[in-house]
Structure formats: C-alpha cells, structure tokens
Structure 1
Amino acid sequence: MEAKKQKINNIFLTGFFGAGNVGDEAVALAVYNGVKLRFPLSSTTMVTRNKEYTKSFAGIKDSEFCIGFFPSLDYFKHIICHLKNINKSDLIIIGGGGLLQDVHSWTTIASQLLPACIGLVLNKKIATVGIGVGPIERKWLKNFVQFVLNNISLIQVRDLYSQNELIQYGVKPENINITADVVPSLDLKTIYELEKKTDQNQSKPNMVGIAFRKWEGVDKKGLASLCQKLIKENIKIIFLCYEPKSDQLFYKSIIDQVKGINEKIEIHIPINLEDAIKTLNQCNFILSMRLHGCVFATALEKDHFSFPYDNKVTEFETRVGNHDQILSIFDISPEIADSIFSRLDNKKDISETTKQFYKEKSLSKSNFNSLENIAELKSDLKVKFIAVGWLNYLILRSLIMYLNKVFKYLYRKTK
C-alpha cells in the first residue's frame, strides 16, 4: 500500500448513536467535539438511529446525519445518503464505545465496520477512536474484524483488554494503539457550567445516585436491602436511567422490594445529556454498574463505588486508581451504606484519583490528536476484492435474516 498526505474536508462518523443510551450519546458528543477541535473547518456526517434524538439529547446541531444502521430497514431506506457521504469523505472514523462485540447480535460489528469496508474499496482514510473490543464468539466475525482492522489507517482502542482481544483475532500488534475511552475528553464542568460544591459540613450524604442496569445474576435483593438502609438513614435515592425503558423496569423491580416507599426514592429520566450530568452532579455519592456513570462521577470528583458487569468498567476504575472501590454485582450488602457514610465522614481524599483521571483525559484527547497525521492508505486490488466479498456476504446475511423473519411471521399466522 502507498501512503500519502491529504487535506481533510469531510469526515464520516459512525458509532452507536441515537439509540437512547446516555453513555452512547456522551460518546457521540465526545467524538464530534474532538473531531471539530482538530478539524474546525471540516464538515461532518454522523450515522445515527434517530437524528432528532442525537440533536436534542447530545446537543449536536451542526452536523449532517445519515439515518439507520446496517442491516436495519432505515439503513436501506437511506442507503444513498450513506454511500454518498462515504464517497465524499476524506476520513472515516469508527467509535468510540464497545462496538466490536457480538454479545447481542452479529449486526453490532457489521453495522460499524461496513462503512470501513466500503472505505477500503474507495481508498479512504479510516481510523478508530477509543473503541472497546470483545467478546466476539462467532469465528466469521473475528475474521471480518481481522481483515478490516489490518487494512485501515489507524487503530486506537480504549484499554489493554481490547488490544489483547484484537491480537487473538489476528490483528497485527504493532498497528494497535492503546488510548482511552473518548468520554473523558469532554470537559464536563466547563461544557455544563458546573461548580464544585463547597459545603462539606454534612457527615452523611443526603443524596445517593444509583446507575445500575438489568444483568443476569445481579443481586437485586441485596440492592433493595442497601436502599432500605439508606432510606432509614434519611438518605434520598435517585435511580439514574441511562437506558430509560429497560432501566425503569429494573428500578421498579428494586423499589417493589423496599418497604416504606416515600419521597426518598426517585427514578430520574434525563431529558438530555446536560440534565443527566447535572443530576449526577447533585448527588453526594454514586453507585454505578455503568462505565460512563463511573466516568462522569470521576470527572465531577464524586466519590463512588463501581459494580462492574463488564471488563470495561474494571479497566477504567483500575486505570484511574479506584481499584479499592470495585464491588461485586453478585453480592450487594446493606453494609455498603456504612462504608458510604464512613468515606464521606472522613472526607476521603480523591486528589490522587483526580490526578490519574487527568492522565486518562490526556489519553482520551490523544484519540483525536493522532488523526491529524494519518496518511491515506491506497488499498491494492487484492484488498479491494476481499472487501467487496465481505460486503456481498453481509448483504446476503441480512437478506437471510429478513427472509427468516418473514417465514416465522407467516408460520405464526397459519397456526
């Protein structure tokens, strides 16, 4: 392959945007802001499930949008928009977030790497920013990831676990750069004009924010007992919805187990990203299963306990020095309340965590600093031929998927 420098005027951004997840919309804003900071005169096109949601929730007003992720019907409805904007782009950016995994479906990886596959055919610069990788169970998806990432301009992953996963799939180690998740690059206090609270006279918190999610094996009974003890100590609990529909159901199942429900429990559904951040900032202590709940808490200098359901949470907490704050989702004790009170009574020094977080922030910003120097890779005919083959294979799989749905529907109708 030949490498040469090229001016960047148009940028195509793809990630899991517009799907109603607070963390993913924070990723969208971080990617957009990071790109615009590096290339202020460039125009951007973002792939999103819901254009209006991304505009209103993340506050991204000035980008163009393409609707739909492959292989959704919306994608095929707006396929001309996708192809047109990929073709005119000078740079395709994939990320951030945990995009390369097949926990839920093969379509997650396909939707994010398909634009890159098209880009390889069209000789486009392609880069990933702060992506999470794994687990991937399907062998063909591992092969697909290996092919695409071994032929793009720049690979940036958010942690060591992701790097090791890619190496296992056959991606060349020398091509992989470990940076950080993109969300720490956001200066939340500046963006949302937040001031650190100076009132330290309270010996106990008056508000605890909980950012949990439905997950197999999570100790719901233990979480309910913990909430019961916090309420007994006159603590207000705010359940933070990061995926409103599923989170509400989960939180209601916890509330049903708590006796004496009153005004001390609230389920908060944010109207936008600013509302989500400001609500968390009002809390004195945070309990979070979610990666970006932990990132927000650390960025806002909020003491917290994390309950990892995924390696990404453990990786982040360890990197910022919060390894002693990691607890199990499978064994949640009401005695955690005593630890919360103790940490706040003793005014736990979080200066070291803050120092480590600023290193993480610098690594996060490096995702975008690196984009200025990448060179266009001119794919040889063999790479283009294989890329076309993968595109045909993905289209075939999507066709089979829809035919299967039709047959199942017809079968149900005839029963």
Structure 2
Amino acid sequence: MVVGVAGYYGFKNAGDEAILEAILQELKARGLEAVVLSGDPRLTQAQHRVRALHRLNPLALLKAPLWLLGGGGLLQDKTSALSLEYYLSLVRMARFYRRRIIVFNQSLGPLSPWGEARVQKALKGVPLILRDQASVEYAQSLGLSATLGADPALLLRPPPVQKEKDWVLLIPRFGEAYREGVKTLEKLAVRLAYERKEPMVLLMQPGLDDHLLEDKAFDTLFRYFRTEKTSDPRRVLYLVAQAEYVVSMRLHGLVLAAAAGTPFAGLSYDPKVAGFAKDADAYYQELPGDAYHMAMAVLSGRPPDWGRIEAMKERARKSFDLVLEGAAVRSSR
C-alpha cells in the first residue's frame, strides 16, 4: 500500500525534515511505500530517496488511499492565515477525492478566533493524533476528539558517537519577535565560556537563521563562537548526540536531543516548545528568558524525565500501528 505524507517539507527546515525522515523510516519498516507533498520535490527525492510531488499539485492526493497530514505545527495561524488554509484545504480535497486523511502527530495552535472556527469545521470527524497534552486539551475545548501521540522524530536512531565533555549546543531562531530570546542565548554563551564550557551555535534553517550572523541590525555575539548551519536532520542528530547539553529555541533541537539521550532545556517562543518541555518534564523558560537561571540548569546538568521520554517514544510507535493497522483492515475489505 502507498501512504501519502503532507507537511512543511522541502523548505530546508531541519526540524520538519527530521519528522519526514522518521515517518519514512517507520513506513519502510512496515513494508509500505510513501509519496510526499513537497515545496521542492527534487530536493525531497534526493534527500530522502522517496517519490515526491509538488504540494500545489491539485491531483497529488489521488496518488495514495491514505494521507498523513503532519507531523509538525501546521494547525496554527500565528505564522499566516494562508498557511492554515492550505492545510485545511488538503483535508477538504482528500474528502472530496474519497481519500482517508489523518491529522498525524501535530501540535494545535496558536489560533485566532477565525482560525478556531475554520479548524472546528474542517476537522469535524477527522481522526486527530496530537503530539502533546496541551494540544489534546485545546482540541477538546473546540469540541474535537483527539488521541495523544508524540513527535515522530523521537524515533530516529542516533549514531554511535562519543559525548564531548563540556560541549554545549545552542540553537537560536531568527526573527524580530525572537530578538530578546536570541540576546538571552548570547549571554548564556558568554557565561558558559566563562565557566570553561565550549558553546557551539547551530542554525537549523539555513536561508533564514543565517540572518543572525549577517544582519547588522541583530549584531549578535554568536559570530565569536563556533557556528554550523544545516537542514540535514542526520547532521543535527549527530551533533546533538555528541553534545553534553542542548539549549534550544527550536522545538526539534529539543526533540532530537531527546532522541539522542542528551539532556536539554528549552527557550519557548511558541506553545509547541513549552508543550514538549512540559510533557518531558524538562527545564524551559518563556521568552525573553533569563541567562543566569538557564546557565544554572546547564551547569547542573538538569535532565528531563527520561521515563517520560520513553513513554513518548512508545506513543509515537503506537500511533503508526494504530493508523496503519486500521488502513490495512479497510484495504482488505
């Protein structure tokens, strides 16, 4: 059977590409083929060795009987109303073509009142698997039934590398709204260097986060520290597996650290970051953050609850079994 996967793929965002890598890993392990909707089909085909179609192709949904919408933070209109409308249009089109579609391991929100009304209408009767408890509760408040899953990227397997003592990975996010959070990470880097730690700055969305180093308006101190940029989830996983500790503004800096067994702390710019940290019982701060207390968490090696993370991984595995076993039953009828 062919399973379709739709999300924010082909845009050189390491977090979303990590989700796709994990979904494809799990589908292949179950003997299934995949087809992916992508903003850059050639890039997706080269990076993941999978058949890909352009995400604006109106007939693409005919290529598979079952579609997984996600994972990621797709169901929100904070970024733009147009983005939310695109993903809800996929739900409507799938129903029109009589294709089964499942909201798969996404977070929900933030949504404006307009966005809430659109989500309530479009997702009524659609199976929802959401990746954090806060999203499940939000869905229930909108009158939608949802199952608690987990981020698929937790299922990626880290490479066998040796931990680098005193190496701390810092993962910022570019944007005017995040300027104060970036300043907090700068102060944290300086403090850690003073404590004889080795901070490294990782930019997980080249083409966007590069502005942290190139935009004179930001004028960050990051240029004085070792810096790397990559949209390859395998490379990110390699780096977080080596680190002694990870502090990340980006959600998948935390998720991949959890997958690799590396202690982590979050600086939350979005409910999805706080939601993951809460579910993992990991240390986190809301923007703008406080460098002193974040440094104390790093220097003390404050870990998440690894038992909770194992439970999250198990929920992620079971979400695939739940969806695909149901699809197998339907296809055999």
Matched residue count: 326
Which of 187, 190, 194 is 1:232 aligned to?
A: 194
Which residue of the partner structure matches residue 413 of structure 1? none
**1:132-171 alignment to 2 at 5 Å?**
132-139=107-114, 141-152=115-126, 154-171=127-144
1:241·1:269 contact (CA, 8 Å) conserved in 2?
yes
- Moved segments of 4+, more than 6 Å: none
Which residue of the partner structure matches residue 340 of structure 1? 298
5+ residue gaps, structure 2? none
SS of match in other structure, 1:163:
helix
In the alignment, does 2:61 pair up with 1:86?
yes
Q: Structure 2 CA distance, aligned partners of 1:330 and 1:117?
A: 38
Q: Structure 1 CA distance, aligned partners of 2:286 and 2:121?
A: 37
In the alignment, does 2:274 pair up with 1:284?
no
- Superimposed CA distance per residue, residues 57-106 of structure 1 (whole angstroms, 9 cap, x where no aligned partner): xx410x221113xxxxxx2xxx3xx41x4224221211111111111212
Compute the displacement of 1:335 (Å): 6.0
In the alignment, does 2:269 pair up with 1:309?
yes
Compute the displacement of 1:155 (Å): 1.6
In the alignment, does 2:82 pair up with 1:119?
no
Q: Structure 1 CA distance, aligned partners of 2:227 and 2:272?
A: 25
1:209·1:237 contact (CA, 8 Å) conserved in 2?
yes
Change in CA separation of 1:229 and 1:88 when aligned onto 2, cut-off 3 Å:
closer
Which residue of the partner structure matches residue 353 of structure 1? 305
Q: Structure 2 CA distance, aligned partners of 1:143 and 1:242?
A: 33
Task: Give RMSD over aligned pairs.
Answer: 2.7
Which of 300, 314, 317 is 2:260 aligned to?
A: 300
Q: Structure 1 CA distance, aligned partners of 2:190 and 2:217?
A: 10
**Structure 2 counterpart of 1:247, which letter?**
D
1:132·1:162 contact (CA, 8 Å) conserved in 2?
yes
**Structure 1 counterpart of 2:6, which letter?**
T
1:135·1:165 contact (CA, 8 Å) conserved in 2?
no
Which residue of the partner structure matches residue 209 of structure 2? 247
Change in CA separation of 1:315 and 1:35 when aligned onto 2, cut-off 3 Å:
same
1:16·1:48 contact (CA, 8 Å) conserved in 2?
yes
Change in CA separation of 1:353 and 1:146 when aligned onto 2, cut-off 3 Å:
same
Change in CA separation of 1:319 and 1:219 when aligned onto 2, cut-off 3 Å:
closer
1:287·1:304 contact (CA, 8 Å) conserved in 2?
yes
Compute the displacement of 1:112 (Å): 1.9
Which residue of the partner structure matches residue 194 of structure 1? 160
Q: TM-score, normalised by structure 1?
A: 0.71
Pick 1 or 2: higher relative contact order, CA cutoff 8 A, min separation 6: 1
SS of match in other structure, 2:291:
coil
2:68·2:103 contact (CA, 8 Å) conserved in 1?
yes
SS of match in other structure, 1:240:
strand
**1:1-400 alignment to 2 at 5 Å?**
9-38=1-30, 40=31, 42-56=32-46, 59-61=47-49, 63-68=50-55, 75=56, 79=57, 82-83=58-59, 85-139=60-114, 141-152=115-126, 154-171=127-144, 173=145, 176-186=146-156, 188-189=157-158, 193-197=159-163, 205=166, 207-215=167-175, 216=177, 218-251=180-213, 256=219, 258=221, 265-270=225-230, 272-322=232-282, 325-334=283-292, 336-343=294-301, 350=303, 353-371=305-323, 372-374=325-327
**Structure 2 counterpart of 1:45, which letter?**
V
Q: Structure 2 CA distance, aligned partners of 1:354 and 1:183?
A: 16
**Structure 1 counterpart of 2:198, which letter?**
K
Compute the displacement of 1:55 (Å): 3.5
**Structure 2 counterpart of 1:337, which letter?**
A
1:251·1:267 contact (CA, 8 Å) conserved in 2?
no
Compute the displacement of 1:238 (Å): 1.4
Which residue of the partner structure matches residue 409 of structure 1? none
